[in-house]
Amino acid sequence: MPEPYPAPLVNPVFIITHEFYPVRGGIATFTEEIAKAGAQLGYGIEVWAQSASPSTEKLWSFRLKRLSLKGSHGLICQLKLAKELIKHRRALRKATVYLPEPGPMLTMMLLQFVRGFTPNRLVLTFHGSEILKFSANPFRRILGRRLIKKASKISTLSFYTKELLLKHFPESREKTFLTPGALRSDFSSASVNQKKNNQKLIILTVGRLHPRKGQLLTLQALQALPQNLRSKIEYWIVSGQSKEGYDIRVKEAASKTKDLSVKFFTDLPDDELSEIYDKADIFSMTSTAYEHSVEGFGLVYLEAAAHGLPVIAHDIGGVSEAVLNEVTGILVSPNHPEGLTAAFEKLIQDEPLRLKLGQAGKAMAHKTEWTTSAKALFTS
């Protein structure tokens, strides 16, 4: 795809990522929005991203370079990216190189040993799970510490992730700051759907089907409701890819309760997803601890709140910074299924409380802006 305009010569920033449009998810959204905000601020942004079908491309306010790699964390992918970075090392030496997620960080760890390859400024963003994964592997822990020492700036989306980073990599203490997430720049919300008396309340979860996202836990909590409440609701699950056959487990569990309607939607474009949000009454994503994976923040909670939805979630990781307990939603301790069911029972029966929490969430969701985070990342 041709570039929309030549790259500016001033303030060049190369954003290297394996998670970019048309990939969906919090990290992909974060990367895209930071790139847009950086371009808006006048930086010469060029994004290097994983390969994608030409039919999915669109025009951007920055330059986009598609690389011949799938964007996995595997060694072959790391070596392919390393080859590209070495090939363009002269340009990178004069620029800011920004790594917003763990895939490119793994490659940069290896390039620390390549003589003559040093970006002018190296900026990193950590989201949570990669900190646990890097620290759990002795070799990557050593390489991660070297990389952090070489970085000019490091950011996290939440205080929780910042404290997690400082705990495992104390070398980051003097250079780490917050770059909080915000709503998508193209975010739009339709008017809130006015339900008729005979319509069911819709509980909505949006997120990839993964054990950490907790769709099965939400489903089980809803199945434990009294029959008279189950008959009043529907559970809608919007998801993209699945892992470890988790989708099969969730669908099998859904089939066991005949009086609870469960609907599954594949990954939807933003305009259709917006309509789904506006038909819902309660948003829930009950993230849980899973191996070395943790919910560092959760941009999807902000998006749900911006649609005026009260949120039910687990009080884990950085979720409490995206969902304010008893203000924009209800947080429940993990591994407390009775408490989760009680939270649903409370909101299903209390329409004024749903409206109160939803309005507070709507106000909170608009408090942060991407340009503030981009300025903090790229200003010398």
pLDDT band at 5; cut points 50, 70, 90: very low
Q: Which of 78, 30, 71 is nearest to 296 (CA)?
A: 30
Tokens linked to 312: 């039910």
The answer to whether the CB of 179 falls within 8 A of the CB of 155 is: yes
Q: What is the domain partition of the chain in residue ranges?
A: 12-179, 201-365
As a CATH number, domain 201-365 is: 3.40.50.2000
Instruction: Pick the range with the lowest mean pLDDT from 138-152, 160-174, 237-251, 309-323.
Output: 237-251
- The pLDDT value recorded for residue 1 is 44
* Matching CATH number, 12-179, of 3.20.20.140, 3.40.50.2000, 3.90.1150.10, 3.30.1280.10: 3.40.50.2000
pLDDT in tens, 155-206: 999 999 999 999 999 999 999 999 999 999 888 665 555 554 558 999 999 9
Q: Quote the CA–CA distance of 300 and 12 in Å, as a whole number.
A: 30
Residue 226, pLDDT score: 96
Q: 295 and 287 in contact (C-beta within 8 Å)? A: yes
The Cα–Cα gap between 334 and 320 comes to 13
Do residues 378 and 37 lie in contact, with contact meaning Cβ atoms separated by under 8 Å?
no
CA distances from 309 to 13, 115, 246, 301 (A): 37, 53, 26, 9
Please tell me if the domain spanning 12-179 has the same topology as the one spanning 201-365.
yes
Total-model pTM: 0.92
